Amino acid sequence: MSVLDTFRLDDRVAVVTGASSGLGVAFARALAEAGADVVLAARRVDRLEQTAELVRATGRRAVTVETDIAEPEQAQHMVDAAVEQLGKVDILINNAGIGTAVPATKETPDQFRRVIDINLNGSYWAAQAAARVMQPGSSILNISSVLGLTTAGLPQAAYAASKAGIIGLTRDLAQQWGARKGIRVNALAPGFFRTEMTDEYQPGYLDAMKSRIVLGRTGDPAEIAATAVWLVSGAAAYVTGQTIAVDGGLTIN
């Protein structure tokens, strides 16, 4: 087997949460291009079909599952649907997430809890459900953020807390499931990529952040999707418990 062959995901089944928009779409498309069949999960089921068309255009199978990942029962249903329709789960990308920018003295308990419920708790419920059916050699990739590692000038306590929590969750699940189950667990910490979430920033904010980015630009979703393919593939078979920042150098400034 050549080194390039180790990046292939042929005969693998991947589940991507938050697959209706943003980086979730890029992850799903890249996984399919690498050879995986993909289960697409999100609350906005109408938009999932658009992602499914991108997957099917590569010749791979796509299954859509309406899922609110904050609900443990729905996370379990998502995995059950994957096994029922595609036979197994080899890869989980925990991408579903929401963000807020509310000053800490004004953020309500419900606002804070909703972010934690989706971003952190939802990642745990999905990982639990997937790990119950995964075989040795499987991989879970949790999507954190550079805001789990640093700050970026916005009041984002809930979001930052959830993304820092994902880094801790990744380390613990990696040590629990590595030798015992043969499941690798890693995290990605994206920097600034233009998505629906960044479209909500104040005008000029992203331009101001570029001074902290060593490469001087925002990222293309295809660039982080390529890193995701590496981490869930055999090419990263000896990598687990790690958080990889894909941020153009932002976190070294």
pLDDT digits (tens, 9 = 90+) for 66-77: 999 999 999 999
- From the list 124, 159, 201, 238, the catalytic residue is 159
Instruction: Report helix, strand or coil for 97.
Output: coil
- The answer to whether residue 201 is catalytic is no
Q: Report the predicted TM-score, pTM, of the whole model to 2 decimal places.
A: 0.95
Q: pLDDT per residue over 159-208, tens digit each?
A: 999 999 999 999 999 999 999 999 999 999 999 997 766 666 677 777 78
**CA of 197: how far to CAs of 3, 67, 129, 166, in Å?**
36, 19, 27, 19
More confident residue, 242 or 194: 242
What six digits make up the tokens of 4? 């390039």
Spell out the domain ranges in the chain.
Answer: 3-246
Q: Which CATH superfamily is domain 3-246 in?
A: NAD(P)-binding Rossmann-like Domain (3.40.50.720)
Instruction: Report helix, strand or coil for 189.
Output: strand
Q: Pick from 135, 134, 131: which is nearest to 123 by CA?
A: 131
